[in-house]
Amino acid sequence: MLKIGISACFMYKEPTRIVFGPKNLAYVECDMFNYVSQKGILPVLLPDLPINQLGEILDELDGFVFQGGTDLAPETYNETPIVSGKWLGDAYRDAYELRIMDYAVQKGKPIFAICRGFQLMNVYFGGSLFQDIATQKPTAIQHRDADKYDALIHEIVIEKGKTLDEIYQGVDRAVVNSVHHQGVKQVGDGLEILAVSKEDGIVEALQNKDGNALGVQWHPEFSVGKGAPLLDPLKLYDYFIEKVKRQ
């Protein structure tokens, strides 16, 4: 059975929370667990441990998924907040996930990075982010609506001859959900763009030069079973798992 590590989302101590109020929590969003839990796959939620303790666990894993969640902190990519008190992100989670991503990259393990994970991947390779697309790129389309959530969709342009084009051969119109207000500003070193938003050019997919790390800005796990016009999310996951099997 293949073992796929999933980086955790965090909730921190909150005295007003009735359950586990004084405790920190690590969790996986349920659609993500369902998405990763295909036949022959064991999902593993990765604990928050120092790398010297975590290393033995990571050694047992075959691939890594980095899930969505809170913003990255601007200081993680050497910026300061563009608006005081807004979009401060989660520097603690950034550091936790970057330790795991560094392990995976150094070991050449397959990586599948989704939404926040995609942004984290770009930052790991030296890139930067729009802290808020609407503020910093006002000509962009709306990429996040709290009420519509993953019902907000738009079309992307897939770069010909590259990985996504191979995965989605024959697809005439590529449509994805959009649940993000931040996005790639400067592309990281050694990353190539696989797709962009059709209407405003926002980067939607990246892959590293070694081909073991693939990231997408949308949430494929939210699209399972929804059908056209959304891209088939299982084709993307199957590509990742084939990478895991061939390593």
Contact in structure between 9 and 93 (CB atoms under 8 Å): yes
Q: Which two tokens stand for residue 184?
A: 């790639």
For the residues 229-247, what does the mean pLDDT come to? Answer: 97
Residue 10 to residue 101: CA distance in whole angstroms: 17
pLDDT grade for 170, boundaries at 50, 70 and 90: confident
Cβ(64)–Cβ(42) below 8 Å? no
Q: Which pLDDT score, from 0 to 100, does residue 220 have?
A: 98
123-149 tens-digit pLDDT? 999 999 999 999 999 999 999 999 999
Q: What is the pLDDT of residue 247?
A: 83
Rounded Cα distance between 37 and 72, Å, is 26
C-beta separation of 120 from 66 below 8 A: yes
- Nearest alpha-carbon partner for 203 in 144, 157, 152: 157
Q: What are phi and psi of 154, to 5 degrees?
A: -160, 170
Residue 153: closest CA among 133, 174, 132: 174
30 Cβ contact partners less than 8 Å away, ≥ 6 residues apart: none
Q: Per residue in 19-67, pLDDT tens?
A: 999 999 999 999 999 999 999 999 999 999 988 899 999 999 999 999 9
In this structure, the number of other CB atoms found within 10 A of the CB of residue 213 comes to 26
Are the C-beta atoms of 64 and 7 separated by less than 8 Å? yes
191 has pLDDT over 90: yes
Task: Calculate what percentage of the chain has a pLDDT beyond 90.
Answer: 97
Residue 152 amino acid letter: L
Element (H, E) at 135: helix 133-136
Q: What is the pLDDT of residues 7-17, one digit of tens each?
A: 999 999 999 99
DSSP tag of 62: S
Average per-residue pLDDT for the chain: 97
- Crossing angle of helices 51-58/91-107, nearest 10°? 50
pLDDT score, position 192? 98
Average pLDDT (104-124) is 98
Predicted pLDDT of residue 51: 85
Per-residue pLDDT band at 246 (split at 50, 70, 90): very high
Region 175-182 average pLDDT: 98
Kindly state the average pLDDT of the residues 82-101: 97
Look at residue 79 and give its three-state secondary structure.
coil
pLDDT of residue 23: 97
